[in-house]
Amino acid sequence: MPAPINETIKRRVIQQWLSGEARAKIAIDNNVGEGTVSSIINYFKVGLDNSEFDSARERLNLSELASSFRLHDFIRNSGAAEDKIESFIENINSSNLPPERIVALVNQLYDVSKKESIPLEHYTFFFKHVLF
């Protein structure tokens, strides 16, 4: 049976996750496996959902709030303009494709761009005519 994870490492993992860092990086930084990072985060989220903040829970789910903070920090740290990201999400919601399909397509596009060493900017036709 593996040794329990140190509380300091757990706090650092949660802090990095809330800051928008990738699980792989968090795992490396804290010398733990990615599965351990996922377990720490899931346990943290369950703890939030089971917390004593009954009045707050009537309006919001604290686990979802933690994920929202993480996403917000990720966007802010990326340097992307918040209004552009909001516009992109609105476009996704109004398109004929389900959002998860669009995410899959964009990830595939990124993989091809990286593999073929073609800058993403050269794919404007795809963005204008296929996605929207």
pLDDT digits (tens, 9 = 90+) for 91-105: 777 788 888 888 888
Specify the 3-state DSSP secondary structure of 67.
helix
Q: Is residue 2 in some structural domain?
A: no
Residues 11 and 74 in one domain: yes
Cβ(37)–Cβ(50) below 8 Å: no
Residues in the chain: 132
Q: Is residue 99 in some structural domain?
A: yes
**Residue 26's pLDDT is what?**
92
**Residue 49's pLDDT is what?**
58
Contacts of 105 (CB under 8 A, 6+ apart): 97, 130, 131
Question: Residue 119 is encoded by which pair of tokens?
Answer: 């800058």
Residue 122 is given by DSSP the state G
Domain total of the chain: 2
Residues 33 and 63 in one domain: yes
What's the pLDDT band for 119 if we cut at 50, 70, 90? confident
Residues 20 and 73 in one domain: yes
Q: Which residue has the higher pLDDT, 74 or 124?
A: 74
Q: Which residue has the higher pLDDT, 2 or 99?
A: 99
**Residue 58's pLDDT is what?**
53
